Structure 1
Amino acid sequence: MSEEQRMEAAAAPPRLVAHGVHLAYDQRRVVHGVDLAVPTGRVTVIVGANGCGKSTLLRGLGRILRPVEGVVELDGHDLHRMRAREVASVLGLLPQQPVAPEGISVGDLVGRGRHPHQGAFGRWSADDADAVARALALTDTHDLAARRVEELSGGQRQRVWVAMMLAQDPHVLLLDEPTTYLDIAHQVDVLDLLADLNEERGTTVVMVLHDLNLAARYADHLVVMAAGRVVREGPPADVLDEDCVREAFGLVARVVADPVTGCPMVVPAGVRERRGLACSKVSLT
């Protein structure tokens, strides 16, 4: 995707918008009156402390959870009034702990991502086969295609789920903690893959991440939540400062420039540091 096309995509109206959305579980409200316009063709990352409502908001944006008040719109239409297949052809959601059918192979699971693109009779096409092969290759899971999902390690399983989402080829991709179970090298691999997907295809990516430094590195648009509300949003350099970290996480920290990217980098100040105790290394030689 050229830079001109990226600029055109960024200037396009938001396809996914939340208007005054309240979300609840068993009458217990978790998200309170959120207004959020997801920038088209950009990477949006939602961050916040545990229990702040970030995963719940993602479920509301992904049609898993119906708002008790407010509305989520996709291309100007109430998301919850649209047909499921119509939504799935545009929007894909990877939840935090997806469950695969017992005994299913990796290839078959990834192939399920093609269902929204198949007709009423579910005929398999050459395009479907190409999309699955491409998704397996991009996530380095091609050699796992014949294995059962339940046999895989947590990290392998997570890459397979990402492959299924890539096979679906949605215009808007929602992911809840896509780096769960992955070591740091594979975390960066998956996030690089999503960034490439955004850059090359213009796919709008929205994901929840716990790691603030990875969030700041990969986000075009950072959304910070606290107590079920959006407290800040915008480019990471404009949003992520020491006051923001203290407000959202109750954490005293320094925010400095990442030496690799120049993005904001959060350096926590623990109890020992606040007491003035520096970390020391004792030489044994």
Structure 2
Amino acid sequence: MKIEKILNNNVVVSRNESKQEIVVMGRGLAFQKKVGESVDTSKIEKTFVLENQGISEKLAKLLKDTSEVYLNISSKILDYAQSQLPYKLDEYLYVALTDHISFAITRHKQGIHLKNPLVWEIRKYYKPEYQVAIKAIDIIEQETGITLTEDEAAAIALHLVNSQLSGENMAAAIQITEMVNTILNIVKYHFKMELDESSINYERFLTHLRFFAIRFIRKEKLEETVDQFFYEQIKQKYSQAYACTEKIATYLDNQFHCNLTKDEEIYLTVHIHRVTNRHKLK
């Protein structure tokens, strides 16, 4: 195993037997070493594989000013997150989360506590990610002795949500959260009811909205597969839900200058009918 890149005295980039790029951590691993020399395997404490070679460049820049302790913490958090979440995490999280944790701890030591205005929405709409983030706060405390706030947990959860996007655009994750929140409010106001947030139908609706919002932000349109007759049937059968969908379409057009496809209108209409009708029956 040869050193391909030295990130700092304790972190190097190498390749495994499968020729995959790996980041290797260990105390003094690169001390008095040069690129091309062998890695002292007895000093290796942590190894993780990188599929995206550009990530090592970003880690190199980050670790010039940030302790690899935070990279190790991030690695532990992401190992746990990957075991709990149903989707593959973007490798950029190694960079984003390391940077976030380092900055959060620096702010904590300086007595600066930033309030996260999206805590309530994140806790409510992204429960799996939020639960992972709460565990992340525990991991950070175990490793550093510092207890970060719920506001920081919400920020970590957003990083996980954002992993389903490009990996670097936190603004998109915030936009998705706000979009989901607004659509849910439109449904509540249209039907003049509170939704049963403990119901399976609500969870299904929320999941649909999240992935819908992700596609919308990415500008990924569903292919038109529905025929006009079926579309008209849905409009008539679920007329109240469709009227609500029209309000949502108006909001999306005004806010994002983008129109729903007929398939998306049908998906939304059916989900809205299900979540509101089951609530009425109950």
Scaled by the length of structure 1, what TM-score is found?
A: 0.27
Scaled by the length of structure 2, what TM-score is found?
A: 0.27
Larger Rg: 2
- Between Structure 1 and Structure 2, which shows a larger proportion of helix residues? 2
- Between Structure 1 and Structure 2, which shows a larger proportion of strand residues? 1
